[in-house]
Amino acid sequence: MATEAATATIWAIDPTHSEVQFKVKHLVISTVTGSFGQFEGQLETVGDDFTDAKISFSADIASISTNNEQRDGHLKSGDFFDAENFPKLTFTSTSITKTGDDTYNLVGDLTIRGTTKPVTLKAEYGGQMQDFYGQTKAGFELTGTIKRKEFGLTWDGVTEAGGVVVSDDVKLVMNIQVTKQA
């Protein structure tokens, strides 16, 4: 007897209810927060269970914002992201492991400036709900840390006193809402 293949469910990121941020230490004493204003992605699942999800995500480097035009220009330059030659950063999941009732480890390949490295993000599932329009939404908070120099973001500055201007560790914080597609 043939078994029927399960139908894939596509969930698309809702950019108006999502945010993609990064935090980096400046002069090792304070934190600068930045974000990407333009991004897209989707999850492909079998049913409504996210443990088997295949996730793809991209962000437009030109949409980077740290609330400082001069710093944003420097981040888009060849010293950092090189937006002209590498206009997007991408993430593709390779595995998801349940670590608690609503928590997961999300492993995938992150590509920045043409360099791809595996990263592990912690994911917290916020649940599902229908909105006013009858659309099913699901929410996640993702966090992790990467080493920027591993991705070719190697610019360094040192103060006169010998202090580091920008740390190598970059914290990622993403609050993502996805919409179940019909």
**Span 36-45, pLDDT tens digits:** 999 999 999 9
Residue 93 in this model has a pLDDT that exceeds 70? yes
Whole-number pLDDT of residue 24: 79
Residue 163 predicted with pLDDT over 60 = no
What's residue 164's pLDDT? 43
**Interacting residues of 109 by C-beta distance below 8 A, sequence separation 6+:** 91, 92, 94, 116, 117, 118, 119
In the predicted structure, residue 181 carries a pLDDT above the cut 60 = yes
pLDDT of residue 162: 45
Query: What's the pTM?
Result: 0.86
Average pLDDT, the chain: 85
pLDDT tens-digit profile of 94-148? 999 999 999 999 999 999 999 999 999 999 999 999 988 898 999 999 999 988 7
For the chain, domain boundaries: 8-180
Q: Find the farthest-apart pair of alpha carbons in the chain and give their distance in angstroms, rounded.
A: 76
Residue 83 predicted with pLDDT over 70: yes
Per-residue pLDDT tens digits for 47-78: 667 888 999 999 999 999 988 898 899 889 88
8-180 domain in CATH 3.90.470.10? Answer: no
Number of neighbours of residue 135 by Cβ within 10 angstroms:
13
- Contact between 141 and 175 under an 8 Å Cβ cutoff? The reply is yes
